[in-house]
Amino acid sequence: MWALRALRAAGRGGAWLSRAVRGCRPPRAALLPPPPHPERALAAVRGGLGCSEGREGGGGGSRADGQRSRADGEEEPKDAEEEEDEEELLRRDPLLPAGTQRVCLVHPEVKWGPGKTQGTRAEWQVAEARALVCTLDGWLVVDTMVVRTTTPDKKLIFGRGTLEQLTERIRGSPEITSVFLNVERLATPTKKDLEAAWRVPVFDRFTVVLHIFRCNARTKEARLQVALAELPLLRSHVKSNVAHLGGRGRSSRYTMGSGPRREDVDASLGHCSAHCGHHADSPLGLSFSGIRGRPGESFLQLQQRLLRDREAKIQKALERLRCKRRLLGQQRRRKEFPVVSVVGYTNCGKTTLIKALTGDAAIQPRNQLFATLDITAHAGRLPSALTVLYMDTIGFLSQLPHSLVESFSATLQDVAHSDLIVHVRDVSHPETELQKASVLSALWGLGLPDALLESMVEVHNKVDLVPGYTPAEPDVLAVSALLGLGLDELMARVEDAVLRATGRRTLTLRVRLAGPQLSWLHQEATVQAVDVIPEAGAADVKVIISDSAYGRFRKLFPG
């Protein structure tokens, strides 16, 4: 019950996605023998849990075009028009400028009031923000400023005197080419005013994270989820663009469906290009070619209608993919492969741990935020020779915008279909308790079954960085995925929990050597030992078998 109480205490906070782990040594060669049917296990689960092939988390992986692998050879042919619509939805320009950027990181430190972040220090918030910037190719932080403010809700965030000092310092540093303001979201007027004052582009946390999501999304579902998450940003720019036109787009009406004036379109798109990092011909991913306004429709209304249509198409495409995943999930459950979901905060070592548990040398963890946005599957064996599937989930990161949380919640809902959750924590991190609270808060928000939350196994990773470390909590396992410490105890704990969660039991069954029983058991259960009795033409077979599989065995082979 400890996990359930902790989850309820954590509330419904805003922890969310990322996955980044240290590079790791190859696992010990003798740690685990290869699973008997890893390809069968992975084929059963890829589509069923909406996951991609089990290498993507390490930088290899699923096809860049986002197409899913088929499971059991079943995939309905997609309508050509639907395929074309989806590809159009995924055609977008970069949110951030290409090339090298020398960034000034500005962190507003709220000293009191409702805007103050509880339970964490500014230095760790700055460290996380720096990691975000360094995730972008060619971007580096050349200056960092932690600036106190008592007016975070005002238009320009800082007081007049503080803003003047910031402006003087930024303008006086010619090496600075952009500013990353470590706030969740900047209103468009605030962004414009700060860019005018500082004379360099200004980016907020939402824009940077969304750009990283775009770059790292591999499957079509992940790319569509990113497209859905960016709609609030596009809507805010639409309103800003119309205001920039001096209200012409707001009040101008087009008669008999004549469509918007070309000069209005050009002015709006060009203005968005200057402030969004998009090309002027298609800044919002919206094509005006052949678009005609409805009678009495203003330019603003036209743009808003196009965005509503875009949202409806994205939701429809996502629902098609989710229906397919639900169908394949039923196939996976019929095959009865136990699923262990590995969750945790960014850089806690999830991928490194899965690599150590499975012995899969193809997994290559990367020290990079949001290295993948898709659940990935990795087959491994427990000490009893039972094959399990470890699901490397999207990681968690605090202070992410609500639209990103909502867009990717459906992906993490797949955790609800697992048999066991392993929560990995980085105990070497100074704010490990806050990270734990963030993860538990996010899991609680997914509405997972109580039984799944209560059986969750907590693993304290990176103990090699904390000499003499011993967990204070009962039933917590201390490991070093990098060095292979504590993995035997972890696998034993996982095996015990999986057997209890899936209703499996160990039986010794006598079968005839001349019949198909032994072959059937190898296919449908986990055979641990075969003791041949030659004089009887039979064998005693020790197996781990589920109740449903045992029922089928008795029905097929009575007597």
| pLDDT digits 0-9 by tens, 157-169 | 888 899 999 999 9
Residues 366, 325, single domain; the answer is: no
Higher-confidence residue of 170 and 131: namely 170
The per-residue pLDDT for 87 is 62
Q: Are 277 and 97 in contact (CB under 8 A)?
A: yes
pLDDT, the chain, mean: 75
Residue 73 — very low, low, confident or very high, per pLDDT cuts 50/70/90?
very low
Q: How many CA atoms lie within 13 A of 492 on its CB side?
A: 6
Q: Do residue 424 and residue 399 come from a single domain?
A: yes
Using CA atoms, how far apart are residues 415 and 222, in angstroms rounded to an integer? 16
> In this model, does residue 464 exceed pLDDT 70?
yes
Nearest one of 157, 156, 137 to 148, comparing CA atoms: 157
Domain identity same for 401 and 435: yes
Q: 395 and 326, same structural domain?
A: no
- Give the model's pLDDT for residue 156: 84
pLDDT at 91: 62
Position 93 scores a pLDDT of 62
- What's the pLDDT band for 330 if we cut at 50, 70, 90? low
Tell me the pLDDT band of 98, cut-offs 50, 70 and 90.
Answer: confident
pLDDT (average), residues 237-253: 55
Q: Per-residue pLDDT for 473 more than 70?
A: yes
Tens of pLDDT, residues 184-203: 888 888 999 999 999 999 99
Give the separation between CA 263 and CA 271, rounded to whole angstroms.
12
Residue 485 within any structural domain of the chain = yes
> Residue 456 above 80 pLDDT?
yes
Asked if the structure places residue 353 within a domain, the reply is yes
460 has pLDDT over 90: yes
Between 410 and 33, whose confidence is greater? 410
pLDDT surpassing 80 at residue 329: no
Determine, yes or no, domain membership for 341.
yes
Question: Cβ neighbours of residue 556 under 8 Å, at least 6 residues apart?
Answer: 520
Average pLDDT over residues 506-532: 92
Q: Are strands 526-533 and 387-392 parallel, antiparallel or unpaired?
A: unpaired
Q: Is residue 404 part of a domain?
A: yes
Within a 13 Å sphere around the CA of 44, how many CA atoms are in the beta-carbon half? 19
| Predicted pLDDT at 325 | 66
Same domain membership, residue 223 and residue 198 = no
Q: Does residue 339 surpass a pLDDT of 80?
A: yes
CATH number for the domain that contains residue 395? 3.40.50.300
Same domain, 235 and 166: no
Please tell me the pTM assigned to this model. Answer: 0.69
Average pLDDT value for residue range 145-152 = 84
How confident is the model at residue 128, as a pLDDT? 86
Contacts of 257 (CB under 8 A, 6+ apart): 292, 293, 294, 295
Taking the C-alpha atoms of residue 254 and residue 258, their distance in angstroms, rounded to an integer, is 6
Query: Do 350 and 449 reside in the same domain of the chain?
Result: yes
Domain boundary among 286, 308, 334: 334
What long-range pairs does 124-131 form, CB within 8 A, spacing at least 24?
124/430, 124/431, 125/182, 125/399, 126/182, 128/346, 128/397, 128/398, 129/105, 129/180, 129/182, 129/205, 130/105, 131/20, 131/346, 131/347, 131/369
Contact in structure between 150 and 113 (CB atoms under 8 Å): yes
The pLDDT value given to residue 323: 76
Q: Are residues 199 and 224 in the same domain?
A: no
Number of domains in the chain: 4
pLDDT band at 19 (very low <50, low <70, confident <90, very high): very low
Out of 65-79, 282-296, 487-501, which region has the weakest mean confidence (pLDDT)?
A: 65-79
Token duo for residue 373? 């946005």
Helix (H) or strand (E) holding 452: helix 450-454
78 has a pLDDT exceeding 60: no
Q: What is the CATH number of the domain that holds 167?
A: 3.40.50.11060
Task: Please indicate, yes or no, if residue 115 is contained in any of the structural domains.
Answer: no
Q: Is 156 left (phi over 0), alpha (psi -120 to 50) or beta?
A: alpha
Whether residue 466 sits in one domain with residue 389: yes
Q: Are residues 371 and 477 in the same domain?
A: yes
pLDDT, residue 67, reads 36
Tokens encoding 224:
């569509």
* Of the candidates 200, 234, 215, the residue with the CA atom closest to the CA atom of residue 304: 234
Q: Which residue has the higher pLDDT, 386 or 53?
A: 386
- Give the β-pairing of 339-344 and 420-426: parallel
What's the per-residue H, E or C state across 308-340? Answer: HHHHHHHHHHHHHHHHHHHHHHHHHHHHCCCEE
> Residue 535 has which token pair?
């004089």
Compare 125 and 334 and report the one with higher pLDDT: 125
pLDDT at 124 over 50: yes
Task: Give the mean pLDDT of 529-541.
Answer: 93
- Looking at residue 538, its pLDDT comes to 94
Is pLDDT at 245 greater than 70 in this prediction? Answer: no
Q: How confident is the model at residue 381 (pLDDT cuts 50, 70, 90)?
A: very high
8 A C-beta contact, residue 404 and residue 233: no
Quick one: which of 422, 412, 411 has its CA closest to 382? 422
Average pLDDT on 325-351 reads: 77
| Confidence (pLDDT) at 37 | 54
Which residue in this structure is represented by tokens 């007027």? Answer: 189
Domain residues for 126?
101-110+121-203
Q: What is the pLDDT of residues 35-71, one digit of tens each?
A: 445 555 555 544 444 444 443 344 333 333 333 333 3
Of 451 and 301, the structure prediction assigns the larger pLDDT to 451
Indicate the pLDDT class of residue 367, thresholds 50, 70 and 90: low
Residue 27 has a pLDDT of 39
Let me know if residue 95 belongs to a domain.
no
Claim to verify: residue 330 and residue 344 sit in the same structural domain: no
Q: Are residues 366 and 490 in the same domain?
A: yes
Mean pLDDT (whole number) for 174-179: 95
Q: Is residue 153 part of a domain?
A: yes
Within-domain flag for 1: no
Residues in a beta bridge with 540: 510, 531
Burial 99-110 (b: 16+ CB within 10 A, else e): eebbbbbbbbbb
Confidence band for 155, pLDDT divided at 50, 70 and 90: confident
